Structures are given as C-alpha cells and as structure tokens.
Amino acid sequence: MVQTAFILLLVGIAAGTLGSLLGIGGGMIVTPVLTVFMGLPIQYAIGASIIAVIATSSGATIAYLRDDLINLRVAMFLEIATTVGAISGALIAGIIHPLWLETIFGLFLLYQCFNMVKKLRGKGKKADATNVQPDVLSTQLKLNGSYHDKVTMEKVDYEVTHVKGGFAMMYGAGLASGLLGIGSGVFKVIAMDSIMEMPLKPSSATSNLMMGVTAAASATVYFFNGAIKPEIAAPLAIGILMGAAIGTRIMPRIQSRMLRMIFVPILLIMGIQMFLKGFGVGF
Amino acid sequence: MKNSGEEIKKAEMQKVEIIIGKVMQVGVFVAATVMIIGILILFVSGNSGYEGNVHPHDFNSIISGVLSLKSYAIIMSGLFLLILTPVLRVVVSIYAFVVAGDKLYVWITTAVLIILIIAMVIGMYGI
C-alpha cells in the first residue's frame, strides 16, 4: 500500500512538472501508467487523470499569477466556450461514436505538431509569432496583453488575433474533454498559440488556469459515481502539486523556443496515441 | 490622460491577480493538508474504514466517515476540496474585475461561473 502510494507520488511529480510547464493535463502520462503498468481499470484511470488535471492547474495557477504570465481576460472569455463545449460533449456522448472523434483529433494534433516544427525552423531565433495584427474582437474585448519574460528580463507586449477561430477551437477543446475525457490542455494551448498567435509562455500559463475550470465539471461526475479512488487519486494529486511547483519554476526561466521544442514530441506522442485509439489500439 | 488611467488599472489588475493567487494558495494548501492527513491515518492504522474495495462517494457517507475519522472519507473530502479550487478561482476573478472596474468582464466571468455551476450540478445528479 505504502509502496504503491510512493510510486503514484513519483508519477505525479513527473506529470505535474511536465503538465505545468506546457499547460497540458498530464493525462497522457497518468492514464497509460495506471492502466498498463498498474493494471487499473480504465474508468478509475480516467477518474485519476481528471484529478491530475485539476491538481496541475491549481498548482500552476498560483505561481503563474504571481509571475504575471496569465492573461485573465483571455482565460475567462475563452472559458465560456470550453465549459459550454464540455457540457455539450457530455450530453451527446451517447450519440456520437468517440472512436471517430479520436481519429480526427489525433490527425489534428499531428498536423499541429508539423506546424510547430515549421515555426521552429522558420524564424531563426524568434519562437513566437511577430507583428500580429489584432482583430476587432481582440481590441473590443481587451484581450491584448503583456507578460514578464524572466529570460530576457523584459516586459513583452503582445496582440492576439483570430479571436473567433480561437473561440471555436476552445469549444472543440471543451467538447473533446467532455466526450473523451482528454485534451483538456493541449487543444487550449494550440487555440491560443497557433490560432490566436499569442506567445507560447502566456498561452501555456493561461491554459493551466483554464483546464482546471473545464475539468471541474467532469470531476464532479466521476467523484459522485465512484470512479475517483482515494488511494489512487490522492497520492497522485500530492505528487502533482509538488511537480507543479517544479515546472512553474522552470518555465519562466527557459526560452520560448526551448519550450516549443519540448512541445513537439508531446504533440507527436499524443497525436499517435489518439489516432491509434481511434482504431481500437489503446496504450 | 487616458493612457495613464489605463496604466493604473493595469497595475491594479496585477495586484488583484496576486490576491487571487494567494486565495488559491490557501485553497490548495487546505485540500492538500486534508488529503495528507487522510493518507497518514490510512498508513498508520492500515485501515481504510470501509470493507474491501469500497470507498464513500456521496455527501452523507463522506461526512459521517470524516466524523468517525475514517481515512478514506477524509481523503475523499480533501479530493472534493481540490475539485472546488477552480470554482474558487472563478469567484475570486469576478471580484478582481469588479475592483478593476471592468464591467464587461464581470459579466463574462459571472457567465462562466453560472455555466460551471450548472455543469457541476448536472454532474452531481447525473444526466
């Protein structure tokens, strides 16, 4: 019992570090470890990874608010789309076959992976989009912001664009998490970074804040139907909170380009994971 | 004039964001502490307080379990507190936008809170 808890703690530390660094839920680490290595039935693994998302999010948000990396307006405006998406996902879960969606989402992630590689190779030292022209909505909604970059020690002002596209993508992110219990973070980062052209660091930090809010609703479902097992979820959550403390110390101090380089293999693995799941190969 | 006004509001907003961070820190700390206490009781007593693989997952059994210091019930209450931390974040954010005098975002964030509560209630009672 103590040994299992200790392993879960370590898994949590790893998932929390990576998750808070990139603004993703860490489900891609937690779920396979729990199902494949520990032989836990899938519903309990999903219950535990929902808790993992919330722990990562809450742990990371504390630090990123302090470091002035989060764009609270972007978070709250887009949160409307993700929460509505999550509810509609849960409502239509019985109607649509999830396997279809997994294949499509998997392909989409692989495409985004390709996009990120292109971004890394294209611009030399600049890892983020430059000369972004804000659209009407981003100005009206006051979404343009700034963040403090600890690497260059300067305040970086940024504009966001394609707000409608980002909003639609966020609805898709919510739909995916309501329907499949996945992708709470990675689709959010893509929506902000790739579609709205927000720099990667605030995108990741803002995704961290958002994903907990999106996950809270599904967490109540799993909590009250008994899928969240205390002896699994709690040691994992503690580990993740510790990991988030590590990840949030690393992220402000590394270059955006480096962060993007860490992101690429993650997108690749997740894309393949999801695509294969669409064909019934789970891992 | 307009610019300096905006700068002040921005500074205020940042101050408020730090307050949100602190409130959340307390929330996460409480949730983690409750979970750790539960885990320690579980390890020391070697007893979950429940038969076999069962764990409490409705309000009544969790509350009565906590009152009789059953480890699983204490851990579950800690996990529930953790699930509430994102809600706390939205509530404090509403306050933040009130302080910043940003009416539009007071409404947007209130809408998020309402949608979230609806979703959680749906989750609690099943669809």
Q: What is the pLDDT of residues B75-127, one digit of tens each?
A: 999 999 999 999 999 999 998 889 888 899 999 999 999 999 998 888 777 65
Establish if A131 belongs to a structural domain.
yes
Mean pLDDT over the full length of chain A = 87
Cβ contacts of B10 within 8 Å, gap of 6 or more:
none
- Chain A residues whose CB is inside 8 A of the B25 CB are 62
Number of domains in chain A: 1
Q: What is the rounded distance in angstroms from the CA atom of residue A146 to the CA atom of residue B114? A: 29
A188-192, A217-221, B61-65 — which is least confidently predicted? A217-221
- The answer, yes or no, to whether residue B53 has pLDDT greater than 60, is yes
- The answer, yes or no, to whether residue A100 has pLDDT greater than 70, is yes
Q: What SS3 state is found at A154?
A: strand
A76-85, A106-115, A188-197 — which is least confidently predicted? A106-115
pTM given for the model: 0.91
pLDDT at A42: 80
- Chain A residues whose CB is inside 8 A of the B122 CB are 87, 90, 217, 221
DSSP state of A157: E
Establish if A283 belongs to a structural domain.
no
- The answer, yes or no, to whether residue B63 has pLDDT greater than 90, is yes
pLDDT band at A43 (very low <50, low <70, confident <90, very high): confident
The DSSP H or E segment spanning A149 is strand A145-149
Find the residue in A nearest to B111 (Cα).
Answer: A80
pLDDT at A124: 54
Flag whether residue A57 sits within 8 Å of chain B, measured between CB atoms: yes
Percentage of chain A exceeding pLDDT 70: 94
- The answer, yes or no, to whether residue A18 has pLDDT greater than 50, is yes
* Mean pLDDT value of segment A14-27: 90
Q: What is the pLDDT of residues A179-205, one digit of tens each?
A: 776 667 888 999 999 899 999 999 999
- The answer, yes or no, to whether residue A245 has pLDDT greater than 90, is yes
Q: How far is CA B72 from CA A5, A55, A222, A225, B32, in A?
A: 14, 19, 16, 16, 14
Nearest to A208 by CA among A80, A106, A71, A8: A71
Asked if the Cβ–Cβ distance from A218 to B123 is below 8 Å, we say yes
Residue B50 · residue B56 · CB < 8 Å: yes
Helices (H), chain A: 2-22, 27-32, 42-66, 72-92, 98-122, 136-140, 163-180, 186-190, 200-224, 230-250, 256-278
Identify the domain containing residue A254 by its residue range. Answer: 2-278
Beta bridge partners of A254: none
Q: What is the rounded distance in angstroms from the CA atom of residue A47 to the CA atom of residue A215? A: 11
- The answer, yes or no, to whether residue B3 has pLDDT greater than 60, is no
pLDDT band at A123 (very low <50, low <70, confident <90, very high): low
pLDDT at B1: 41
The DSSP H or E segment spanning A156 is strand A154-158
- CA distance, residue A16 to nearest chain B CA (Å): 14
